[in-house]
Amino acid sequence: MSSVEERVQKIVVEQLGVKDEEVTPEASFVDDLGADSLDTVELVMALEEEFETEIPDEDAEKITTVKQAIDYINAHQA
Amino acid sequence: MDNQIALVTGASRGIGRAIAAVLGQQGMRVAGTATTEEGAQRIQQELSSQGHEALGLCLNLTDTASMDAALERINQTFGAAPLVLVNNAGITRDNLMMRMKDEEWDAIIATNLSAVFQLTKRCMRAMTKARYGRIINITSVVGFSGNAGQTNYAAAKAGLVGFSKSLAREIGARGVTVNCVAPGFIDTDMTSSLPEPQREALLKNIPLGRLGQAEEVASAVAFLASAQAGYITGETLHVNGGMLMD
């Protein structure tokens, strides 16, 4: 089983069409990886599917970087 | 578009039945819904007898669990989700506004407008993932012209136009188009109940001088559902014999 970091990175690469090396922990989806509003919604949905969790809108809004996504998953995984 | 899966609501009669048939002819695998099990079986038999790979489904549009179940059946049967969605199902509860009951208003909004939101939402994800999709909402000339006795129906049908344009803006970047087809006075069960004098009066206002056929609406839907219509989105195609011109 891959680590949470690897799985998140894979989703970001697939969803945003960016290169592996661009997906650094500090990378911002919008500012660094070129995501638009639909991309960010789809990204959250992809994370929900991958980790079988539900991310409420209030929390989703706060997930703006790769690290925040990883931390959120780690904190909320069963 | 061979083998593509299309979902058509309200496919047992009238316009929906014609849409299901023509999409089948285009080589799509068609799932058609009806409000009863008999209706669903009829759809399946009819499309199968025409040589199309088809699935008839019983669907209650005011019940989201029923939508989830129907989409699950499509997935199980065809192995994928529909990339073509035709929101055709609709009902009427005509009454002059002064006499219209809240229930008559609510029933129309629930089935003709809210259900379109709910079903489309459930089908969108597969389309954005596939970077391809065709959503076609059947509105009505009445949504543009207004019609005495149909405040509820006209509101819902006009609502579909605004809904479609907004969604078209949201998911255009994913290769998904969202359009409307607005039938005029079409020869179906829904219009056959009109009294003769009203029918005569209506015909006078139709330059082509006749009612439309369900197949004529279906061919407009088939065009918008095709890959060839890929640069058309947020648009309404009027099929009304010239009854109303923008």
| Per-residue pLDDT tens listing for chain B (246 residues) | 568 999 999 999 999 999 999 999 999 999 999 999 999 999 999 999 999 999 999 999 999 999 999 999 999 999 999 999 999 999 999 999 999 999 999 999 999 999 999 999 999 999 999 999 999 999 999 999 999 999 999 999 999 999 999 999 999 999 999 999 999 999 988 788 778 888 888 899 999 999 999 999 999 999 999 999 999 999 999 999 999 997
Return the pLDDT at B105: 98
Residues of chain A contacting residue B170, judged by C-beta atoms under 8 Å apart: 38
A36 is catalytic: yes
- Taking the CA of residue B172 and the nearest CA in chain A, the distance in Å comes to 10
b/e per residue A35-69 (b: at least 16 CB within 10 A): beeebbebbbbbbeeebeeebeeeebeebbbbbbb
Q: A45 and B171: CB-CB below 8 Å?
A: no
Chain pair A-B, CB pairs under 8 angstroms: 8
Asked if the Cβ–Cβ distance from A38 to B125 is below 8 Å, we say no
Does B173 contact A45 at a Cβ distance shorter than 8 Å?
Answer: no
pLDDT surpasses 70 at A78: no
pLDDT value at A64 more than 70 = yes
For an interface test with A, give the residue of B121, B125, B166 to mutate (most A CBs within 10 A).
Answer: B125
**Averaged pLDDT score across all residues of chain A:** 93
Q: What is the mean pLDDT of residues A28-43?
A: 94
Contact assignment for B171 to A38 by CB distance below 8 Å: yes
ipTM over 0.90: no
pLDDT for residue A1 is more than 70 = no
Chain B residues interacting with chain A (CB cutoff of 8 angstroms): 125, 128, 170-171, 173-174
Residue B171 to residue A42, Cβ atoms within 8 A: no
Q: With contact defined as beta carbons under 8 Å apart, do B93 and B107 qualify? A: yes
Cβ distance A38 to B174 less than 8 Å, yes or no, reads: yes
> Residue A65: pLDDT above 80?
yes
Report the chain B residue with the minimal C-alpha distance to residue A45: B125
Q: Which residue, among B190, B195, B186, has the nearest Cα to B241 in the 3D structure? A: B186
Which residues of chain A are within 8 Å of residue B173 when distances are taken between CB atoms? 36, 38
Count of other CB atoms within 10 angstroms of residue B174: 18
How much is the pLDDT for B189?
81
Q: Are B11 and B20 in contact (CB under 8 A)?
A: yes
| Predicted pLDDT of residue B65 | 98
Measured distance CA(B220)–CA(B181) in Å, rounded: 7
- Give the mean pLDDT of A47-76: 94
Read off the amino acid at residue B26: Q
Mean pLDDT of A4-23: 94
